Amino acid sequence: MKNTNVKKGWNRDEIAQKVALDIPDGAYVNLGIGMPELVADFIPKGREVIYHTENGLLGMGPVPEQGQEDPELINAGKKNVTSIKGACYFHHADSFTMIRGKHIDICVLGVLQVAENGDLANWSTGQKGAVPSVGGAMDLVAGVKTILVITKHTTKDGQPKIVKNCTYPLTGKSVVKRIYSDLAILDVTEKGLFVRELAPGIDFDYLQKQTGAKLHEYELE
């Protein structure tokens, strides 16, 4: 009975909330497909954040009410969305001008693997015969000012997703700034991975065991 209240790690919403806290007022943000999309639900009140979707909309709003969907108003994941007041539409070359030209402040992405030097792999497992699909992932990591990763700390099989070197094909080299997992928040620095915050019930040693790269602790002044 004494263990029922001991919480271990963060759930998906809680991870998304942690990311959301780090998105400042006025930021232009691109959210990847899947878990990253949750982030929009947790932006603290009072902050105005503008969402970019690479298929040509700045000022993406929430999903429409049922019956209000417009098949010509979708996001990069091809789901129905809405647009906010002050939104604008543009073509694909202009959209990637925003991305490649370093105009987007933050991109939150899911990953297959992320390495201690910030290498990111999220587009292909390199499997023979599979249809390789890259979409805008490589453009985003090459162009957006700050790349944040949101991920389960390990795969379903318990294999680390945070590794010394990516074994999957890279999406971009040395691009990730911070990793938000169910177990911790890690900063990617020139000196390696530093633990910024541990999730409830997670200690450094446990975290290290779940991680395929060496972790460092910040020294307190």
Q: Which residues bind another protein (CB under 8 A)?
A: 25-26, 28, 46, 48, 50, 52-59, 70-75, 78, 83, 85-104, 124, 129, 131-139, 142-143, 169-173
CB of 87 to another protein, least distance (A): 5
Residue with Cβ nearer another protein (2 or 85):
85
CB of 163 to another protein, least distance (A): 17
Name the residue type at position 202.
I
How many residues can be counted in the chain? 221
φ, ψ dihedrals at 20, nearest 5°:
-60, -40
Closest C-alpha to 143, from 191, 178, 175: 175
CB of 200 to another protein, least distance (A): 33
Q: 54, 65, 69, 116: which is the annotated catalytic residue?
A: 54
Residue with Cβ nearer another protein (75 or 151):
75
Residue with Cβ nearer another protein (31 or 104):
104
Residue with Cβ nearer another protein (45 or 209):
45
Beta bridge partners of 189: 192
Please say whether the beta carbons of 113 and 163 come within 8 A. Answer: yes
Q: Residue 24 class from Cβ within 10 Å (0-12 exposed, 13-18 middle, 19+ buried)?
A: exposed
CB of 215 to another protein, least distance (A): 25
Question: What distance separates the 2 farthest-apart alpha carbons in the chain?
Answer: 59
Residues belonging to the active site: 54
